[in-house]
Structure 1
Amino acid sequence: MKELFSKIYKLLKNNEDAVLVSVISGSGSTPRGAGARMVVDKDGYSIGTIGGGAVEYKSTQLAMEILKEKKSYVQKFRLAPNDVADLGMICGGDVEVYFQYIKSNDENISLMEDIITAFDRNQNLWLATEITDDIEWNMEIIAENCIQYKVSDISSHLKRNSVLLEQNNKKYYIEPLVTAEKVYIFGGGHISQKLVPVLNSVNFKCTVIDDKPEFTDKNLFPLAENTILADFTGFRDRIKINSCDYVVILTRGHNNDYNVLTQALQTDACYIGLVGSRTKLGKTKERLLLDGFSEEDFKRVYAPIGIAIKAETPEEIAVSIAGELIMVRAEIKGDYK
């Protein structure tokens, strides 16, 4: 998404207007879900995608008309087969697209700068847009625990997926702009050393924790956001794990794994993955139940960790784990079908 807003910024700086085309709702087998975006300039050049095919082609044409009309509006496309308004798509369903006319002026240039800068902030941020058919519209970056809002008091609607809502006779589209998705990797061994670069390439911020200084050497993990030398038995005193975070357990021994697991289960982590054979996992479950944990607690654990692709080498296991985290992230955001 940063690339899209960077494109808008460049157009505005060159004294060119732009249209931000956003899918704000969809039902059925629409080509892309809510949150898909593209930017269109006066020449019909676009960056990004809302799914391709007839909808995207028609939307590009409409965006070029909007640049002449200088006015935003919402367009609904009905994609049911044989429908009068059908655009020729094979898949069924409806899609609602917002065409946001963005005029080249100092205010909008400043807004684009703020949005671009926001991608580098390590906190949960949302982008709230007032959906309007007028030239003037409101767009705001909202931080977690924000007290005052320009567009409306929408604190209860700051979710991990996109939301389209009506409030006080106005319609708003709210979506996550930046999610502080951190992966806490316990154990700095061979798998972790292969895993960090893969996760970094798909926008996960990694922190590696180990109780041996040689396994928290930053030279081993140049792409990690952080490395922490800490005892596995008391990491919760130093590390706060929240509901946006992922825990990957890859320590050197069963006892270390268990110590990390019991602490991770006392957090709100959205993902807890544990390496090990099915025999080890069976014994781990028995031990958890004896220590007062429940069946529901154990169900939170992704074990054996990773997608089943018959991975054997550290490189293959890293790909397997990364695939599982990507899948979980998509499920949380509502992008997984």
Structure 2
Amino acid sequence: MLDLAEELDRWTEEGREYAVATVVAVGGSAPRGPGAALAVDSAGTVIGSVSGGCVEGAVYDLCLQALETGESVTERFGYSDDDAFAVGLTCGGTIDMLITPVGGQAPARRVLASALSAAVRREPTALARIVRGPAGLLGRALLVRPDGAYEGGVGGGPDLDAAVAAEARALLETGRTGTVELSADGSRCPGGLTVLVESNVPPPRMIVFGAVDFASALARAGRFLGYHVTVCDARPVFATRARFPDADEVVVDWPHRYLRRTGTDARTVLCVLTHDAKFDVPLLKAALRLPVAFVGAMGSRRTHEDRNRRLRAEGVTERELTRLRSPIGLDLGARTPEETALSIAAEIVAVRRGGTGVPLTGSRTPIHRDEAEHGGDRPRPRRDRPGAGRTAPGAARGRADSAAVPRIRHPG
């Protein structure tokens, strides 16, 4: 639900009552991952998405029903072989969902309000909620901060709260969203409880070196993908805010000096677009020794070979050189700066998600890969203004299952 933090924080401040459906787990070719959410207020306004359209109508209806009953429920949606036109995932996957009412008397409202407020302020926090267990604990929430402090409770006593907080903190440290299994007494052994942990961390960084036309287009693409974009160049006449309005930061400094003094982590993407040896070699020598997610450099194949020769002369090892994505980008036949930025962005996504870059037509590669395998810190699309809500069209009435363990649902 932290995907909708800006809008839901505003709803909370306005005193609205609403219900949130959050994806807990997916199987097969489901379109959205854990943490994706859809929310409906008491007036019927809906924001967000949990399936790209497949089951939105039924989920909308379940949210309204949760607002009426005041109870959290779980539900599983899956593909129906008998009726491919039933409300379900015709892509063949399954989605487990938690539907939580957030009314004035909801037990978790205060904790959820704190989590939404922290997400809007971009403070690193983890929101943990019970998604499988005794009915009385379903939907109970706990907000965990990086130092291990937490507020709220999951309703099973201090030992269970401490265990949930420890597990949530571990996921927060890696920026991941996912589920953990615990016993009701708080032990780490898988038992009667499943906890969904949503990590809220600052957006990952994309640092673009070289204030060129390609950098302007790539800054737009990076912002669209949810990155915090910095453009860096040693030439002040080129590195200006006017030339890069979509960048979060424009820095005038020698690239290698800036890289050494700025913060990076395992999600950071470094794109070197200068293709000038006096900038590239000292920069890449430093970049290839950092534990970042992606290091790519622009240039012709001749430039690439010359750059590698210079890097070897500077002591860069063959193993370090294997990390360099050069020439940067996928082969799209790109010509314009915008097309080139698209090819670079496509390679970044492919590396991040373990994609092959080959056309899906005629291939047998899976469309959706296991997010945990390739990192769960998906960047959220950047939005400068909260999106306007919309009222859903008539939704097919569904049945909520208040049991703690989801069942396959094929409404209709």
- TM-score (ref. length: structure 2): 0.70
Structure 2 vs 1, CA of residues 19 and 328 (structure 1 numbering), >3 Å: closer, same or farther? Answer: farther
Distance in 2 between the 1:13 and 1:233 partners?
45
User: 1:157: which partner in 2?
Assistant: 171
Structure 2 vs 1, CA of residues 82 and 287 (structure 1 numbering), >3 Å: closer, same or farther? Answer: farther
Structure 2 vs 1, CA of residues 142 and 245 (structure 1 numbering), >3 Å: closer, same or farther? Answer: farther
CA contact (8 A) 1:80 1:91 kept: no
Percent sequence identity over aligned pairs: 24
Residues 192-241 of structure 1: CA deviation (Å, up to 9, x unaligned): 23332332343321222222222333333333222323234434442232
Within 5 A, what are the aligned runs for 1:35-184?
35-53=35-53, 55-79=55-79, 81-82=81-82, 87-104=87-104, 108=109, 111-112=112-113, 115-121=116-122, 124-131=124-131, 133-134=135-136, 137-143=139-145, 145-150=146-151, 151=161, 152-154=165-167, 155-158=169-172, 159-169=174-184, 170-184=193-207
Answering whether residue 273 of structure 2 is matched by residue 250 of structure 1, we say yes
Answering whether residue 363 of structure 2 is matched by residue 312 of structure 1, we say no
Within 5 A, what are the aligned runs for 1:260-299?
260-289=283-312, 291-299=314-322
More deviation, 310-319/94-103: 310-319
CA contact (8 A) 1:128 1:139 kept: yes
Unmatched runs of 5 consecutive residues or more in structure 2: 152-160, 185-192, 355-373, 380-412
Aligned with 2:234 (options 205, 211, 214):
211
Shift of 1:22: 0.9
Residues 260-299 of structure 1: CA deviation (Å, up to 9, x unaligned): 1111011111111100112222333344445443443223
More deviation, 132-141/55-64: 132-141
CA contact (8 A) 1:119 1:178 kept: no
Distance in 2 between the 1:173 and 1:3 partners?
14
User: 1:197: which partner in 2?
Assistant: 220
Structure 2 vs 1, CA of residues 309 and 290 (structure 1 numbering), >3 Å: closer, same or farther? Answer: same
Answering whether residue 187 of structure 2 is matched by residue 185 of structure 1, we say no
Structure 2 vs 1, CA of residues 203 and 95 (structure 1 numbering), >3 Å: closer, same or farther? Answer: closer
Distance in 2 between the 1:127 and 1:109 partners?
12
Shift of 1:173: 1.0
Distance in 2 between the 1:50 and 1:100 partners?
14
CA contact (8 A) 1:79 1:93 kept: yes
Residues 285-314 of structure 1: CA deviation (Å, up to 9, x unaligned): 344445443443223222211232222233
Greater relative contact order (Cα < 8 A, sep 6+): 2
Distance in 2 between the 1:212 and 1:88 partners?
55
3-state SS in 2 of match to 1:153: helix
Distance in 2 between the 1:43 and 1:236 partners?
50
Shift of 1:44: 4.4
Q: How many residues align?
A: 332
Residues 141-166 of structure 1: CA deviation (Å, up to 9, x unaligned): 544x4232345212222334421112
Shift of 1:168: 4.1
Shift of 1:17: 2.3
Shift of 1:247: 0.6
Unmatched runs of 5 consecutive residues or more in structure 1: none
Distance in 1 between the 2:249 and 2:319 partners?
31
More deviation, 155-164/256-265: 155-164
